[in-house]
Structure 1
C-alpha cells in the first residue's frame, strides 16, 4: 500500500493537469441601438464564472428623424380658384357677361370660369367643320372640292354663306347635336332652322371642342385635325384678335365670332383657339355678351384671355 504522503502527491499532480472549465452563459441580452446604429450585446455568467462576451455588431445605418427629409406629396393646385382670381381683375362693362376656360396642353390641367350658355355667333363654324369631317370619316370618304372651298372661306374669312351651305350638308342642328354628343359637348345645342349663329354653348364645351381639334385623344383623325388647325392659323388679318392677345409674339390658331343682337342692339363677341406662351401651349375659350359695341366686346374678350392664361402661366 502506498503511504498517505505519496497518495497526496499523485492527487496534486492530477489537479495541476486538469483544464479550466467555465460555466455556460446564463443569458444574452440586447441592450438597444445607439444613435450611430451599433447594436450592443451583453453577456452575464453564473456567479463565480468569468465574463466571456461583450461584443458589438454593426447594424444597417439609421438616420436620425431630425435629419430625415419627409416625403410629402405636392399640394394640389386649385386652378379654378386661381382662374377666378385672375378673372376678377377683368373690367366687365355694366350689363355684360364673360366666361372663360383654359387647358394647359402638357399637364392636362384645366379650369373654367362661369357656366352660363352663350350664343356662339361664328365660333360655331369650327364645330360645323369638325362635324363635317367626322361624318366624312364615318362614311370613309374625303371632303369634296366644293366642301373644301366652303370650309376655307368659312374659317379663314368667316363667310356666312359658306357656313350655311355646310350647315345643310351636316344636317343642320340635328347633325351638329349628334356629333357634339360624341365629342362630349354636353351643354351645346344647335340653333334652330338656318340660325346656326344662335347655337348655344358654354366655355367648358368649347374647350372640349378644342381638344377634339388639337388633342391626340380625338375622334377626328390626325389628318382631319391638321386640316382644321391649318385653317385656324390662316384667318384673315382683320380677324386676328381675341385669344391671340395672350400670345403676343408667339404662335396661335383661332376662330372668332361676333354678332349684334337685333332685339337689344348689344353684342355677342367670342374667341376660341390655341396659343403658345413662353413655349407652353394652352387651349383657350372666351365667351361674352351684352357689350355696347363690337370694339368693347373685343377688348373684353382679349382682357379675359390674357387674365385666364396668366392664371396658369404665372409662377405659384
Structure 2
C-alpha cells in the first residue's frame, strides 16, 4: 500500500448550470431505481447556538437561508446530483455547506470509510498548528518549509516529516478529537495516506480552516488558506470545478490501491459560487483510472453545489 509513487491526475472541468435547491430533500423522495445503497440527500439548517468546547458544529447559519426555488428547478438539481453520484463505479460521498445561509448537504457512501490519500496533508498541517498554539510557539522555519511543499506540491517526504512532528497517528487522532472529527482514524505504521475518513468529517476539518468557529487562531487559518491558494497548477482540479469565477482553495488526494489497482480520488476546499461561499468535500474510491475518478469528483462537486447554493 505504498503511497510515495503516485502519478498526478490532471483535469479541470468547466462549471455547469447553477440551480437553487431549497426543497431538495423532498424532491429526492421521488427518485427511484438504483438507490438502495445511497442515503436520501439531506439539506439541513443548523439553528443550534452552542457546541462542546472542543467540537465544531457542521453548520451554523449566519444569514437567512435562501428561499426555496420552484419545484421544477429543484427537481432538476436533485436529479443531476443523483445521476452524478450513481455513475460511480466504486463509492463516492459529498458534503457541502454554504457559509452564508448555514445550509448543509450530505449525500452518498453510507457507512463507508474512505482512505484520505493526500487530503490528510491538510489535517496534518492543522494538527501541527494546533500543537504549536498549545506550546505558545509558532512553526519553525524548517516546519514551514515542509508545510509549503507538503501543501503546494503535495510532497510525500515533507508530509512524513511533519507526520513525525505531530506524533504520528496518536498525534493526529488526538488533534482530530479536539477538532470534532468523529469518523476519522489515522493510518498506522507510517501510512498516513491510509487514514480513514468521511466527507462529513472533512467538512468539519474545512470549518476549522475557513471559519472563526475554530480551535485554530486567525493567524494559523490565514497561513493554511494561503498555502491552499497556491497549490501548483496541475493539482488544481477537483472541487474547484464548482466555482463560478475561478475563486477557490483546494487540496486533493489520489492513490492507486495495491490490492486491486483501483483509484482513491478525493478533493476538499472552499469555492466561491455566484456570491456564495461554499465548503465542499468529495471522497471516492474504486475508480478504474485516475482520470475517471477526477471526472467523478468534479461532476459530484458541481452537482452538490448546484443543489445547495440556490443559483
Q: Deviation per CA, 1:216-259, whole angstroms, max 9, x where unpaired?
A: 11000000000000000100000010000011433000100000
Aligned partner of residue 283 in structure 1, secondary structure: strand
Q: Separation in 2 of the partners of 1:282 and 1:301?
A: 16
Structure 1: 4+ residue segments shifted above 3 A: 75-79, 81-86, 91-95
Residue matched to 1:253: 249
The alignment status of 1:301 with 2:297, answered yes or no, reads yes
The 8 Å contact of residues 101 and 284 in structure 1, kept in 2 or not, is answered as yes
Alignment counterpart, residue 278 of structure 1, candidates 268, 274, 277: 274
Q: Deviation per CA, 1:101-129, whole angstroms, max 9, x where unpaired?
A: 00001122112113421000000000000
Q: Separation in 2 of the partners of 1:308 and 1:178?
A: 31
The alignment status of 1:207 with 2:185, answered yes or no, reads no
Q: Separation in 1 of the partners of 2:246 and 2:272?
A: 6
Look at both structures and tell me which one has the larger radius of gyration over its CA atoms: 1
The alignment status of 1:129 with 2:91, answered yes or no, reads no
Spell out the pairing of 1:42-57 with structure 2 (5 A cutoff).
none
Alignment counterpart, residue 96 of structure 1, candidates 75, 90, 98: 90
Alignment counterpart, residue 80 of structure 1, candidates 34, 42, 60: 42
Residue matched to 2:103: 109
Offset of residue 279 of structure 1: 1.4
The 8 Å contact of residues 24 and 78 in structure 2, kept in 1 or not, is answered as no
Segments of structure 1 that go 5 or more residues without pairing to the other structure are 1-74
After superposition, the Cα gap between the structure-2 partners of 1:84 and 1:193, relative to the gap in structure 1 and judged at 3 Å, is farther
Spell out the pairing of 1:168-179 with structure 2 (5 A cutoff).
168-179=164-175
Task: Please identify, of 232-241 and 91-100, the stretch whose mean Cα deviation from structure 2 is larger.
Answer: 91-100
The alignment status of 1:189 with 2:185, answered yes or no, reads yes
TM-score (norm 2): 0.74
Q: Deviation per CA, 1:158-187, whole angstroms, max 9, x where unpaired?
A: 000000000000011100000000000000
Aligned partner of residue 226 in structure 1, secondary structure: helix
Residue matched to 2:218: 222
Q: Separation in 1 of the partners of 2:79 and 2:279?
A: 19
Aligned partner of residue 89 in structure 1, secondary structure: helix
Spell out the pairing of 1:161-172 with structure 2 (5 A cutoff).
161-172=157-168
Offset of residue 77 of structure 1: 6.9
Q: Separation in 2 of the partners of 1:256 and 1:125?
A: 9
Higher relative contact order (CA closer than 8 Å, sequence separation 6+): 2
Offset of residue 281 of structure 1: 0.3
The alignment status of 1:234 with 2:196, answered yes or no, reads no
Residue matched to 2:138: 142
Higher strand proportion, which one?
1
TM-score (norm 1): 0.73
| Count of residue pairs the alignment pairs up | 241
